[in-house]
Amino acid sequence: MTILKQKDVDEYQQSLEKNTARQAEIKTLYKSKEGKIASIQVEIKNFQDTCDTLRKQVSAIEAQLKTLASEYNPLNKEVYEAEQALANHQHATKVKELFDKQTDFYTALERELVKQHEELTESVGDFVKLVDPAVACSKLRNIIENGGISEANLVVRSGKTNYDQCITDLCERKIRGDTIDISVGTMPVQIVKNWLQKPSVTHYWRS
């Protein structure tokens, strides 16, 4: 056994105290760091669990998106058909409203018969028997609306059909904003004039 000098004892004592104190600090720091690691590992585990949960939510939402897309795309056709139907309806309504404001066929017919009656009375009144315009118009209207099926009656009915179609075409052109020349605008009247000269029609208003 060795007996140390007091100086050495003091030095060893100081070294012991210093080093044990440092070891205590290191232990405390070590445990703190271990605790920090454990805490981080818990956070990592929680984060992984959260990520797994979020991935499952994303997968579920993606499946919902596919379902929605499979429902949405077929609706494009129905939406298009509905839009077209409404647009056509709106256009047809405008055409009808404008059509209804125009002179109807029977009014135009009687007016033209009056003109023809006046002109022919002055020129060939002594040689041609003319039927009163209102009476002639009534007879023609009855054939158009109630007459049987025959080639002559089809010719009679063609007057109103062609007149109404011409008015409809003019209304559509007006709504589209097309320019309508005078020659085109007077076509309905010209249709009535030409129609009145057909043999199947003339005997109803002159002989």
Task: Report d(CA 12, CA 54) in Å as an integer.
Answer: 61
Taking 70 as the pLDDT cut, the residues of the chain under it are 125-126
Residue 125: the pLDDT is 63
Task: Report d(CA 152, CA 182) in Å as an integer.
Answer: 32
Residue 34: the pLDDT is 87
Question: With contact defined as beta carbons under 8 Å apart, do 196 and 202 qualify?
Answer: yes
Q: Percent of the chain beyond pLDDT 90? A: 57
